[in-house]
Structure 1
Amino acid sequence: MIGDSQVRADAAGIATIELIDERGETGLGFCQILFTAIPDEEELIRVFEEEAWPGLLGRTPASVALRVTRPRGGNARRMILPFEEAIQHAVWDLFAKQSGLPLWRMLGAERDRVGVYASGLDFHLSDHAFSELFGRAAERGFRGFKIKVGHPDVERDLHRLDLLAKTVGRSAPVMVDANEAWTAQETVAALRLFERAGHSIYWVEDPIPRDDFDGLRMLRSLGLTRVNSGEYLDLSGKRKLLEAKACDMLNVHGQVSDVMRAGWLAGEHNVEVTLGNSFLEIGVNMALALPGVRWLEYSFQNFDHLVEQPFEIADGTICAHHVPGHGLTLSAHAREHCRQPRLLAEAPPAVPVA
């Protein structure tokens, strides 16, 4: 079970997209549906053919990856199913393969590894499961740890920090993520409580609603910790966040093109970028390419069996693959054993937290 102060998910529906060029080269992307039941395979195909395929058929991967589209208008809307990120990953994968380069190198990176922190998605875990999760993470050499906070009783958040310190020690950076559960004043009170209890917080992530730029700017001015925000904002919102000088760190993840554009904007404002969750850590390619990125989030979501060779994590870093493309290929096991055209449609959907 994964979740935060706002949501909980007990099951994930995953669809894969493979785009194939005229030479038979394949680009791979994953579509993840957490909070509603995934449709039958037939419906997935119908929606893809109706909404996504007309914009891909006959085009080169480069022209799709690099195109600039109208940012607003009646025809600029989300697809019925969240194919956008999967398409971006598949298109960029294919683009890099056609160029004969690893995606991270094609995006301009020179290093091939970056620091990785352990993110528990742990809000609904028992204390025992919480300690086991982070204990295993410490044994694997993760260099930082992020826990979910934002409980109605802030003492419970403090208890979790005490438990984390008992489990992993106090030498590594500790981050907290409230998922917009607090007001600005509640954030100040919580951070001061944590500090009095001896906890040094490396960053507080999304403590208040995403568009409360005044509140975020106030928190930043107090200097209690770094303010990490932007996860829930689109590219336009991230630009406004940066212009408001309302974050110390800009959180990006997901679509390759938008991540690189957001990284450019952050560089213009001299703001550090952090890479949040991306499916099977595909985001390592962008993390390596953006200057100054020190962290990639890893959340133990147990999808490694879906690909032939997951990215290696060792000594607190994650290493990119030195093969053309983003580095992931669908496994023979997934093709043979994981296809469930209808079963997942009957799975109980995840529920929001009251």
Structure 2
Amino acid sequence: MKVTGYRSLVTSHDWRRPVGDANGTIASGITEVPVLILETDGGLEGVGLGQHGEIARVFPAVEGQDPRAAPALYDSMLGHVFKSGHAGQTYGAIAAIDMALWDLKAKMAGEPLWRTLGAADRFVRGYASGLCYGLDDDAFAALYGEWAERGFHSAKIKGGKDLARDIRRLKIVQGIMARNNPVPALMLDVNESWNRKQAIRHLAAIEAAGIDLTWIEEPVRRWDAAGHAAITRAARPAVATGENLTGLEQFAPLFDAGAVDVVQAGSVWGITHFTRVAIAAHVRDLPVSPVGYDCNPAAHAAAAVPNMIGLEVQDFHWPAGLDVDQQIADGGVVLGDRPGLGIEVDEAAIAGHRAEGTWNVAGGPHRRPRDAGLRLVPDTGPALP
């Protein structure tokens, strides 16, 4: 069976609440979800998720190839673009193709991807993460109460601009998750909104408030190995980072500097990337955690690696036109038996849905505010453009 072509679709996810972080929020709660369909001469089709705007540039590296060679084809795609680099949208295209190749590989074997990757158990433990910055305290508590009802006892919240608010909300979610575990794991994600000295001061204040923070996520800029190393030496919580790094080589400075305690990999960057990052972390005795995305595609790979600490789970619902063979229950993801990723695409439903939504809006979470890392006092107002 050979790869012969592709189709590119865009559906939408209605989160049914505002979503975002310290960089901005999307009030409508509707976001776009790009879907790649990889075609073969045998009739099987592979599904990949995530931005893939440069698909035409990358596709020649896999055209006519056997999908079962997914890891080798990942390297072929990197080699295909090596002159100009593989960051940004180029890596998004590589990742979407890679995900679709793995989907095909498992479908050709007639088994779910978690089984193809060697996992022994279909259950993947997770933690609740509501992309909750735009919610008031009552809506925030109600949302995490839903997670607790599904058996979750670990939670991450969004913060970074108002320390008093962060401490208050950490205490709220601590009480909610304590329904399932008297000592819940609590994580704070500030999405690169601090500088290193702010991080050290703020983490000391959180500890003084009686909160035992499990990890602080992306406290400073993603490439700041020295800054992350200073924070992990000075503060008690683990430092988690890596979701925005595109390729294993970008992790090397963090590893060399002893700058990361929980190694993260974005689910949107594909299956091969996650497994390689996980093994690189494993040989350094570090845990790995995949960052969440629609339909939890990285859960299949997370089930198969030995050092997975927890999968970020962001919602209970699926994007329009996608049917996903998994359940969110018992504090994690229960993967099904449908071959491949377990995602079925209803193209007619997607075409008829027509809901508009994008992460890339003015003031949204994909735009970094001018004053990020430069705030002398807490900022409780909207993010600056």
Gap runs ≥5 in structure 1: 34-43
Which deviations, in whole Å up to 9, do the C-alpha atoms of 1:19-47 show, x marking residues without a partner?
Answer: 232221121122359xxxxxxxxxx7xx6
**Other-structure match for 2:24:** 7
Alignment match, 1:182: 194
**Aligned-partner Cα distance in 2 for 1:178–1:347:** 18
Q: Which runs of 4+ in 1 moved over 6 A?
A: 345-348
* CA shift in 2, pair 1:23/1:110, >3 Å: same
In the aligned structure 2, how far is the partner of 1:192 from the partner of 1:125? 26
Q: Percent identity?
A: 28
State the one-letter code of the partner of 2:342.
G
Structure 1 SS opposite 2:295? helix
Shift of 1:100: 3.1
Shift, 1:155, TM fit: 1.3
Deviations 1:104-152 (A, max 9, x none): 222222222121111011111112211111111111211211001101x
Residue in structure 1 matched with residue 376 of structure 2 by the alignment: none
- Do the aligned partners of 1:226 and 1:248 also contact (CA within 8 Å) in 2? yes
Measured in 2, the distance between the counterparts of 1:344 and 1:174 equals: 34
State the one-letter code of the partner of 1:216.
H
Residue 84 of structure 1: CA displacement? 3.4
- Would you say 1:30 and 2:43 are equivalent positions? no
Q: Which amino acid is 1:278 matched to?
A: Y
CA distance in 2 between partners of 1:81 and 1:292 (Å) = 25
- Deviations along 1:287-318, one digit per CA (max 9) or x if unpaired, are 11111212000111732553333411221121
Shift in Å, 1:166 = 4.2
TM-score (norm 2): 0.79
Where does the alignment leave 5 or more consecutive residues of structure 2 unmatched?
1-17, 368-382
What is residue 271 of structure 2 aligned with on the other side? 256
CA separation in 1, counterparts of 2:83 and 2:72? 20
CA contact (8 A) 1:116 1:143 kept: no
Question: 109, 117, 125: which is aligned to 1:115?
Answer: 125
In the alignment, is residue 237 of structure 1 matched against residue 256 of structure 2?
no
What residue in structure 1 maps to residue 372 of structure 2? none
Whole-Å separation in 2 of the counterparts to 1:310 and 1:76? 32
Could you tell me whether the CA contact under 8 Å between 1:66 and 1:257 is conserved in 2?
no
Relative contact order higher in (CA < 8 Å, ≥ 6 apart) = 1
Instruction: Give 2:93's match in structure 1, choosing from 65, 83, 97.
Output: 83
Q: CA deviation at 1:92?
A: 0.8
Q: Aligned pair 1:164/2:184, yes or no?
A: no
1:51 aligns with 2:64: no
- Which residue identity does 2:169 align to in structure 1? R
**Cα RMSD (Å):** 2.7
TM-score normalised to the size of structure 1?
0.86
Contact 1:230–1:252 (8 Å) recurs in 2: yes
In structure 1, the residue corresponding to 2:184 is in which secondary structure? Answer: coil
- CA separation of 1:270/1:160 partners in 2, compared to 1, >3 Å: closer, same or farther? same
User: What is the DSSP-based 3-state SS (H/G/I as helix, E as strand, rest coil) of the residue aligned with 1:338?
Assistant: helix
The count of corresponding residues between Structure 1 and Structure 2 is 337
* Cα pair distance change 1:268/1:139, threshold 3 Å: same
Are the equivalent residues in 1 in contact too, given 2:321–2:349 (CA < 8 A)? no
Work out the CA distance in 2 between the residues paired with 1:142 and 1:109. Answer: 22
Change (3 A) 1:341 1:119: closer
Distance 2:303 2:171 in 1: 33
* Structure 1 pair 72–146 and aligned structure 2 pair: CA distance change class (3 A): same
Corresponding residue for residue 374 of structure 2? none
Give the superposition deviation at 1:81. Answer: 9.9
